[in-house]
Amino acid sequence: MKQGFGRTRSRKSTGQGLSRSALKEALDGVRGEARFNLPLSTFTSFQIGGPADVFVTPADEEDAARLFRQAHRLRIPVFVLGGTNVLIQDRGIRGIVIGLSHLKAVRVEAGHVLYAEAGVGMPTLIKRAITLGLSGLEWAAGIPGTVGGCVVMNAGTRLGEMKDALSGVRMAFPDGSLRDLARADIGFEYRRALLPEGIVVGARLQLKPASKGEIERVVKDYLRYRKATQPLTEPNAGCVFKNPGPRTAGQLVEAAGLKGEKVGGAQVSAKHANFIVNTGRASASDVLALIRLVQDRVKAVSGVELQLELKVVGEAS
């Protein structure tokens, strides 16, 4: 789930993009693929987003660390794209956008621990856990994001959240080193892990033995619930607003009469009012205009100021 696996500093964008020569210098010796001026819409669950100056998929953890070190030395902004819970604005992202799709190894460690690289999809990891008879990830059933994104966002559902299973993370740091952080060294907030400057390249998950049949039953039941209550078949970025309590954000939006409300190609889901869906050709500007409309209407009706859970990144048109 997020967009920026770890906290990375970046210089202020000029809005003009960075020179091709500076970007190529940062890419020197990197073994993965690099594509310049690549539209990012196909890499997000929202199917919205302008271009990256350069989109890089490092070959492995060491390659990601090398790229990060060189970009940091040159003061080139770095953004790690998880693809969910993010809205990329229409002019895209300046600097280097990193995709970790090649980091997809999973290995079993002692004590019922799974180590998963950051690019592993949560559905893939859940299937592996079921095969091994390991419980602890059922809460993530239906989450389309990656391990790295779920760590950074402390992704969660009503059944649990990432911090419940996490025993440690592996990160690339600005000096190019790869180091492990224990669970005790990481703070957590609602939908956020408090990490040092760096990029999450892997995570250790402490699971426990359980009946394969029972794990499958819980996963299937929760998938049925999510399919019945959330617009999983339409392009979206997950929940848009944080739940303010005691009423959920979805309840407040619905009470304001906004289910089905549209701006351009963006629409408040008729199935779950805390989701905005892309009905076909929504722009980031459409989504942001709809978000403002929802916030204003909910404030007028209920007095609650809804705060974004969705991460908005990049440059506006």
For residue 28, report the phi and psi dihedrals to the nearest 5 degrees: -55, 125
Check 61, 138, 161, 309 and give the catalytic one: 309
User: Is domain 106-228 given the CATH code 3.40.80.10 in the classification?
Assistant: no
Categorise residue 182: left if φ over 0, alpha if ψ from -120 to 50, beta otherwise: beta
> For this structure, is 309 an active site residue?
yes
> Residue 5's pLDDT is what?
43
- pLDDT of the residue at 83: 74
Cα(26)–Cα(111) distance, rounded to whole angstroms? 40
CA distance 122 to 146: 5
Q: Is the predicted pLDDT of residue 51 greater than 90, yes or no?
A: yes
Of residues 191, 204, 261, 297, which has the active-site annotation? 191
Please name which of 43, 41, 75 lies closest in space to residue 57, comparing C-alpha atoms. 43
Confidence of residue 157 (pLDDT cuts 50, 70, 90): confident
Each residue's pLDDT tens digit, 191-243: 889 999 999 999 999 999 999 999 999 999 999 999 999 999 999 999 999 99
CB 128 within 8 A of CB 89: no
15 pLDDT above the threshold of 70: no
Total Cβ atoms within 10 A of residue 309: 19
Domain boundaries, the chain: 20-98, 106-228, 232-313
Out of 14-23, 71-80, 152-161, least confident range: 14-23
Structural contact between residues 137 and 125, judged by C-beta atoms closer than 8 angstroms: yes
Helix (H, G, I), strand (E, B), or coil: what is residue 311? strand
Instruction: With a cut of 50, say whether residue 12 has pLDDT above it.
Output: no
Q: Grade residue 3 by pLDDT with cuts at 50, 70 and 90.
A: very low
Digit-coded pLDDT (tens) for 125-143: 999 999 999 999 999 998 8
Give start and end residues of each alpha helix (H) in the chain.
20-26, 61-73, 122-132, 147-153, 162-165, 212-229, 249-255, 284-302
For the CA atoms of the chain, what is the radius of gyration? 20
At 188 the pLDDT is 93
Of the listed 138, 204, 239, 261, which one is catalytic? Answer: 239
Average pLDDT, stretch 24-45? 96
Task: Give Cα separations from 193 to 3, 212, 231 (angstroms).
Answer: 13, 30, 26
Unique residue bearing structure tokens 């990160």: 171
In the structure encoding, which two tokens stand for residue 261, read together?
């409300």
- Confidence (pLDDT) at 8: 44
Q: Which residue has the higher pLDDT, 149 or 4?
A: 149
Q: What are phi and psi of 275, to 5 degrees?
A: -115, 140
Residue 91 has pLDDT above 50, yes or no: yes
pLDDT band at 17 (very low <50, low <70, confident <90, very high): low
What CA–CA distance (Å, rounded) separates 3 from 154? 12
Percent of the residues in the chain that have a pLDDT greater than 90, as a whole number: 87
**pLDDT, averaged across the chain:** 92
Strand partners, 80: 98
Please tell me the distance from the alpha carbon of residue 138 to that of residue 69, in angstroms, as a whole number.
Answer: 36
Mind listing the pLDDT tens digit for each residue in 256-313? 999 999 999 999 999 999 999 999 999 999 999 999 999 999 999 999 999 999 999 9
Q: Which residue has the tokens 């049925």?
A: 224
Percent of the chain with pLDDT over 70: 95
Per-residue pLDDT, 18: 75
Q: So what CATH class is 20-98?
A: alpha beta
Nearest to 95 by CA among 62, 70, 132, 113: 70
191 belongs to the catalytic site: yes
Q: Which CATH class is domain 232-313?
A: alpha beta
The mean pLDDT value for 173-177 works out to 97
